[in-house]
């Protein structure tokens, strides 16, 4: 076996560390160059169907614990966000501060996601009702139903070409669920039971105890 001198080993080690540092720097630059979400304008319609000038009143809006407040009170109404080119990026109806009937859109005008939430307690919201997610082409990517933050019934996920990727059946109150997974050719690659991820569909926040927005929500 060939033996290496301590100097050769040390030089190799130094070169490896140098390459590692360069890679970390390069990846960091890529992360820095990633475009951030850009919102150009916001349109707000109150529950009384009155249009609110968000630009002049944005300081009156406050989002805390996934709850929208307007002038210190739970907001009920519709909020629309527009992206570059003035395309509708997101719209949501708020009921007592909680977002429901949320639609997100791609810049080509096609729907990206459809979802809705419900308050579970003062610091937690959960997805509730039908959920759908689409590819930019308009093909369905995933669909299913939530009940108080838990997946229930049939959930399906698809590949971009429309081929089924997986089917899962969630039973209320049970931790394990039945799932069948497919490859892109439609062949079954897994069929069995898995453990439910209780974090899916749940959003929890740490409420600021000193905030004057800490009012209990009506649920």
- pLDDT band for position 184 (cuts 50, 70, 90): very high
Strand order in the sheet with 124-127: 117-121, 124-127, 202-204
52 or 92, greater pLDDT: 92
Position 214 confidence tier, pLDDT thresholds 50, 70, 90? very low
Q: What percent of the chain has pLDDT over 90?
A: 38
DSSP, collapsed to helix, strand or coil, labels residue 85 as helix
Number of helices (H), then strands (E), belonging to the chain: the values are 2, 18
pTM of the full predicted structure? 0.72
Sign for the pseudo-dihedral over CA of 63, 65, 71, 76: positive
41: pLDDT strictly greater than 70 = no
58-111 residue pLDDT tens = 888 888 877 888 888 888 888 888 888 888 999 989 888 888 889 999 999 999
Mean of all residue pLDDT scores within the chain: 78
Q: Is the pLDDT of residue 207 over 60?
A: no
Higher confidence at residue 49 or residue 148? 148
User: Cβ contacts of residue 199 below 8 Å, gap of 6+?
Assistant: none
Higher per-residue confidence, 43 vs 76: 76
Would you state the pLDDT for residue 38? 57
Provide, rounded to the nearest whole percent, the portion of the chain with pLDDT above 70: 72
Ordered by start, the domain boundaries in the chain are 1-34, 41-149
Would the pLDDT of 161 be above 70?
yes
The three-class DSSP label of residue 200 is coil
């Amino acid at each position: 076996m060939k033996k290496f001198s301590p100097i050769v080993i040390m030089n190799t080690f130094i070169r490896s560390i140098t390459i590692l540092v360069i890679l970390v720097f390069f990846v960091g630059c890529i992360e820095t160059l990633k475009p951030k979400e850009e919102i150009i304008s916001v349109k707000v319609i109150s529950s009384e169907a009155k249009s609110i000038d968000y630009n002049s009143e944005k300081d009156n809006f406050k989002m805390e614990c996934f709850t929208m407040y307007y002038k210190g009170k739970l907001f009920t109404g519709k909020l629309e966000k527009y992206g570059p080119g003035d395309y509708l990026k997101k719209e949501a109806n708020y009921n007592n501060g909680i977002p429901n009937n949320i639609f997100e859109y791609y810049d080509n005008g096609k729907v990206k996601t459809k979802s809705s939430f419900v308050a579970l307690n003062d610091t937690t919201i959960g997805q509730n009702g039908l959920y759908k997610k689409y590819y930019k082409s308009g093909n369905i990517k995933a669909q299913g139903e939530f009940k108080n933050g838990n997946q229930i019934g049939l959930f399906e996920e698809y590949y971009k070409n429309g081929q089924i990727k997986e089917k899962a059946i969630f039973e209320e109150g049970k931790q394990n669920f039945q799932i069948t997974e497919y490859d892109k050719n439609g062949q079954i690659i897994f069929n069995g039971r898995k453990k439910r991820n209780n974090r899916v569909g749940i959003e929890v926040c740490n409420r600021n105890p000193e905030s004057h927005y800490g009012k209990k929500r009506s649920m």
